[in-house]
Structure 1
Amino acid sequence: MIATANRNMALLALAALVLLPAAAYAHDISQANRAFVEGIDGPAFLPFFYLGAKHMVTGIDHVLYLIGVVFFLHRLKDVVLYVSMFTIGHSLTLMGGVLLGTGANSHIVDAIIGISVAYKAFENMGGFRKIGFTFDPRLAVLAFGLAHGLGLATKLMDLAVSPNGLLVNLIGFNLGVEAGQVIVLAVIVTLLNLWRRKASFGKAAFAANVLLMTAGLVLAGYQFTGYFAS
């Protein structure tokens, strides 16, 4: 039993080491995608839908946050509720940010996203309860959803996206993000449900959230460093 627990811890540590460098570049858009998007002039719903879905599926920081959000949610209606709060938040700032031209420094936004990962992991560990801090977790998910959406909007505005067909393309991108989120959640919830059936879940859950919090703090630290160095 001890050997199994140690092996699980080692695998979790290895996963963290693999994910941390990727998390630092979680919002980067490849040069090929950048050139393709900047070459579009007019409505192009499907390409933007694909880009939004790809950005969510490969956005490690988004994935880490979603893992934290659903980590201890057992009922489907709770998963739907919390994910809906997150979706409302990032849809508002994604759509509104681009249409109103309201951006922010990408390093600061990505740092806040890293903090959101660390915050949720610390909450999962019972950290806030121990220090006597209480805040409605649904409102926290909504608030961090706003930050995640602002990050998406900032990246889109960094591209020379044509104003011709902007609304259609923006809707396509947003719906793509939602489709990617559904795919990611289906995988996460399935794996968590399988893991919860194992005796190791109770013992390793705390360690998993420690690693999740570490990943968030590393991401935030990396982005703050980039901000002050720029």
Structure 2
Amino acid sequence: MQSSGTGPNGLKPGGGDQGGMGLREAMRTSGAERTFTEEPVPDEVLARVLDDARFAPSGANAQPWTVIVLRDPEIRRGVRELSVLGWREYRAQVKAGLRPFAPGPDGRWHGPGIDLAEAAATPQPMTFIDSLDRAPVLLVLCARLTALAVADVDLDRQSIVGGGSVYPFAQNVLLAARAEGLGGVLTTFLVRREPAAAKLLAIPADHAIAGVIALGYPQRRATRLTRRPVEEFARLDTFDGPAFPGPASRGTTL
């Protein structure tokens, strides 16, 4: 008989299945960690992270991801140098008051609004990116394009659906890392230099770079994450419908 306080699978909603960190705690404390100690991450820990993350959902269970674990110092430096260029383009748009690479109201991108070549040549100091190659764990996440069911491919707006078969895996990596006492962050700056990165990493033409995940033991962990409350993003029946009340509005706490 199922014990009191457990869900239909016999697990406590906020607790771990084997005495480890609960799913709720992991989700609510997995902020973007960009500063790590110099302590190396053992291979067996990374293996467990990837072993847990592989259970992420994907369209038709295609599991289109490939993870490149970067160890070679020269390759790591190359990834860092290419990522720095993408970061400079991103930061220059932020400084210009723009949302970097964001589509317009019509769902289409109409250009960066800045000189990208000039931006890439202009230093924009950022400790994390400038030292990316020194992250204890550096993973390049690739996606096999021919395995993606891109249902919005012919819509007159920016396509987003294909990522639904890739980024749940990335989030699983971060959650699994959190459960192991690690911190991490997903970045996409390398994508801005995908042709050069693909050559550096021997990525075949039918694959794309989805991002870079840095992991390590955090120097300090965020104790409070700021996120929008449920009432700000959940609506009933239609996009402009009434707010769906979250726990606070119902007088309940987690």
The structure showing larger relative contact order (alpha-carbon pairs under 8 Å, at least 6 residues apart) is 1
Whether TM exceeds 0.5 here: the answer is no
Q: Which of the two has greater strand per residue?
A: 2
- Band the TM-score falls in, shorter-chain normalisation: under 0.3
Q: Which structure has the greater CA radius of gyration?
A: 2
Q: Which of the two has greater helix per residue?
A: 1
